[in-house]
Structure 1
Amino acid sequence: MKANWEKIEKNVGLLEVEIDEQQVTEALDKAFRKVAAKVNVPGFRKGKVPRKIFEARFGVESLYQDAIDILLPDAYTNAVEQAGITPVDRPEVDVEQFAKGQTFKFKAKVTVKPEVKLGEYKGLAVPAAEAEVTEEEINQELERLQQRHAELVVVDEGPAQMGDITIIDFEGFESGVPFEGGKGERYQLELGSGSFIPGFEEQVVGLNIAEEKDIEVTFPENYHAENLAGKPVVFKVKLHEIKRKNLPALDDEFAKDVSEFDTLDEYKQDLASKLKERKAKEAEAARENAVIDQAAANAEVEIPEVMIDNEVENMLKDFESRIRMQGMTLELYYQFSGQDEAALKGQMKADAEKRVRNNLVLEAIADAEKMEVSEADVEEELANLSQMYNRPAEELRSIFSANGYLSTLTADLKVRKAVKFLVEQSKAA
């Protein structure tokens, strides 16, 4: 096989490949066996038609596309490896020559991982983060625990208040006409959660059980449904139930209920210790992010749009997975947030570009510093994952290898080494 790589644009090049005649012959043989098993030729059983009779009846050209499909994937993969390039998108393939008795020639227009021109990345000054814990922070943590352990009490009388859990029916109308997606029955809404469009929840406050009300709100200008964006609407709302949080007292009994400690003072001391540990980790993460951002800002790299688009898709999948764990679907999220998929992806794009840029720069730093990932590094990471997922390390290695993830794991470990190097080389601002 011959392969020639030539750049034609910043991150795009042309890969010219030629496969020898022998491989073409072998591919045509495989294609014939595949096709002959399916065709019906009078006088012959399926799969038993002689090659000469098949070609006389259908023409050898009828095998070309199947033969190309057999040859192309491995030929492209081998050519990419031979050229030493890293594609980041599907290639645009143009077959130039394919025929019996000839070589197979094709060209592939390929978008590749961009080159990074590193700037200053050693000795970067980053601010030291504060890891001390204040009394106010301890009290805020106690308040969050109060909310978490609050008892929901059914309210029989009196108006709904901010913070209440309400059960409501609602139906939306625009110019007196019901609109799609604007109706819900016995919907649970926490007032003050910001789940509905601005102004809705505030107007539920004050309603009594079985009371009905017309709520007037205006959809955001960027609402995903163009026919409603920026439009004033009326929701007819009926309140069915109110549940209110009954917060437990912050005393020794509370400490006994939520921890292994007998007194609130002991529990507060433990909280302070854990908060300090958490803040220290957050401070370290902030230092890492700051030094990575500086190194990335100092570098020059032109990122192909497809890499950003792919990262946005990954972020969208992660987001969908997280909200599903909370009992919500993307469709419901779009309905209640006033967004659509395009708007959500638009919000994610800047962060996606930053992630791609940072990762490319970290990979370049690892290469510049000749960082390597040893087998011991991989073994250590597999041992960590083994503890995390409670599965044998060798089983995880087999799974990673079978699915092609071992190289991804190695690349991730290499990037982590680059991050550690940047932090060690940095200095306090």
Structure 2
Amino acid sequence: MKSAVETLSPTRAKLTVEVPFEELKPSLDAAYTKIAQQINVPGFRRGKVPPMVIDRQVGREAVLNEAVNEVLPQKYIEALQENSLEPLAQPEIEVTKFEDNETLEFTAEVDVKPEVELPDYEGIEAEVEDVTVTDDDVEEQAGALRERFATLNDVDRPAADGDFVTIDLKATQDGEVVEGAEVTGMSYKVGRGGMLDGLDETLAGMSAGEQQTFTSQLVGGDLVGQEVEVAVAVTAVQEQELPALDDDFAQLASEFDTVEELMADVRERLGRGKRLEQAAAARDAVLERLLEQVSIPLPESLVTEELNARRQSVEQQLAQAGTTMEAYLEEEGQTQDEFEADLDRRVRDAVAAQFILDEVAKKEELGVDQNELSQHLVRRAQQSGQDPQEFANHMFEHNHIPELVQEILRGKALATIVESAVVKDASGTVVDLKNLQPDGTIGEPEDESAEEPAAEAAEESAEESAAEEPAQA
């Protein structure tokens, strides 16, 4: 077999392949055997029909076509390997010449991984915000803890923000009750929001035994976005009574004896959480600096596919949250065009990052062992809410293991880059980025898990920056 490659663009190549007829003979023999099993010829047992008889009964051309269909994928893969090409999509294959006992010629156009010239990624410098825990942060957390131990007392007055009301709710359109839009005896905190526009405003000032009607738009179901009439009846109004923030509460809500110890622990926990957030921000900042140092041509077909996948994922998440794209854009203060432009930028950055990390993994000669793959499978199963064994079986059955291995390698590559980086906060203090974990956290040296690779760091970084969705390479 001979092959030649023509570069159509930095991300697209055209292979021209010539296969001598002699190399088709194994596929030709297989074609005769297959057809012999499919036809009935008087005087011959099924599967024992000689080739000459098959040529008369079925035609030599049908046999040749069967042989070509079998050999094309094999020779295409051989040509890719021979020319060191990494395909990113299915090829467009065209047989340009084939006659009986003659050389088979075909072409294959395919999007390929671009060549990447790696910049120097040792000691990348980046900056992140300071870690600050304010008194307001501590009070907010303490307030949330107090709410967990709060009691509800019936009150004989109109409802106000912060009160809990028991309500019956029914939405109708043209006099008909909307399916799935009727509830009874639901507890709802006035002012919480996120259910129906106009509900909080209507409930404020209502007393037990009162009913009102208002107009709103449904945020889910078949009639999402359509106006309906909503009847709400209040059957009870309750006031939330928070426990005093004192030593007795500290002993009730925690392992501490005094409120001072409790509040100190709250502050420490907030600090740890913010430091973890800072580590994730540092990871993203380092990757962003790396992207700024290199220009990578991107296959538009891959970008388009990824854009469509992420856009669909965003729409599904919004639907599950009971809201619409219009409501989401309004809340974010974005127009549709701004959203699309931002998504396009993030997707391009994510795809470019994957190409870079793939090259880093090769340069560093990174590998993946069975234990790392098993841990990654478990993490992915937990993220998707599936049984780990069922998830693993599905990945193996559908040949997704190479994709998971690539995810792990990208995570290792990013961890390698980040751990050599110099990241400072706004005050000039160097951020500790050793032992980067998959979620962007920093493991403690004595923790054995700290030695595990950051298996999903690259994937998560790309996903978080593109509306919190999956990336693809």
Aligned to 2:467: none
Once the two structures are superposed, the pairs formed by residues 228-377 of structure 1 within 5 Å of their partners are 233-239=227-233, 247-312=242-307, 315=310, 332-333=320-321, 336-337=323-324, 346=340, 348-364=343-359, 370-373=363-366
1:184 aligns with 2:181: yes
Once the two structures are superposed, the pairs formed by residues 43-192 of structure 1 within 5 Å of their partners are 44-116=44-116, 125-147=125-147, 149=148, 161-162=160-161, 164=164, 168-171=168-171, 173=173, 184-186=181-183, 192=191
1:109-130 alpha-carbon deviations (Å, 9 max, x no partner): 1112234466686665533532
Letter in 1 for 2:268: S
Maintained 8 Å contact 1:197/1:336:
no
Identical residues among aligned pairs (%): 25
Maintained 8 Å contact 1:214/1:234:
no
- Cα distance in 2 for residues equivalent to 1:122 and 1:69: 49
SS across alignment from 2:94: strand
Aligned to 2:331: none
- Cα distance in 2 for residues equivalent to 1:65 and 1:246: 81
SS across alignment from 2:129: coil
Structure 1 residue 59, shift from structure 2 partner: 1.0
Where in structure 1 are there 5+ consecutive unaligned residues?
Answer: 324-329
SS across alignment from 2:113: coil
Letter in 2 for 1:113: K
- Cα distance in 2 for residues equivalent to 1:293 and 1:349: 16
Maintained 8 Å contact 1:119/1:299:
yes
Structure 1 residue 300, shift from structure 2 partner: 1.6
Structure 1 residue 234, shift from structure 2 partner: 4.0
* More deviation, 245-254/65-74: 245-254
- Cα distance in 1 for residues equivalent to 2:360 and 2:425: 14
**TM-score, normalization by structure 2:** 0.67
- Cα distance in 2 for residues equivalent to 1:276 and 1:79: 56
Structure 1 residue 16, shift from structure 2 partner: 1.8
Structure 1 residue 304, shift from structure 2 partner: 2.2
Give the alignment's Cα RMSD to 1 decimal.
Answer: 4.7
Where in structure 2 are there 5+ consecutive unaligned residues?
Answer: 328-335, 430-473
Structure 1 residue 248, shift from structure 2 partner: 4.6
- Cα distance in 2 for residues equivalent to 1:408 and 1:297: 22
Aligned to 1:326: none
Letter in 1 for 2:286: V
Alpha carbons of structure 1 residues 408 and 78: separation in structure 2 relative to 1, 3 Å: farther
Alpha carbons of structure 1 residues 183 and 424: separation in structure 2 relative to 1, 3 Å: closer
Structure 1 residue 289, shift from structure 2 partner: 1.6
Maintained 8 Å contact 1:362/1:419:
no
1:315-353 alpha-carbon deviations (Å, 9 max, x no partner): 5787799x6xxxxxx7554x632569xx89957544333
SS across alignment from 1:3: strand
Letter in 2 for 1:336: T
SS across alignment from 1:336: coil
* More deviation, 280-289/346-355: 346-355
Maintained 8 Å contact 2:125/2:423:
no
Aligned to 1:403: 401
- Cα distance in 2 for residues equivalent to 1:299 and 1:257: 56
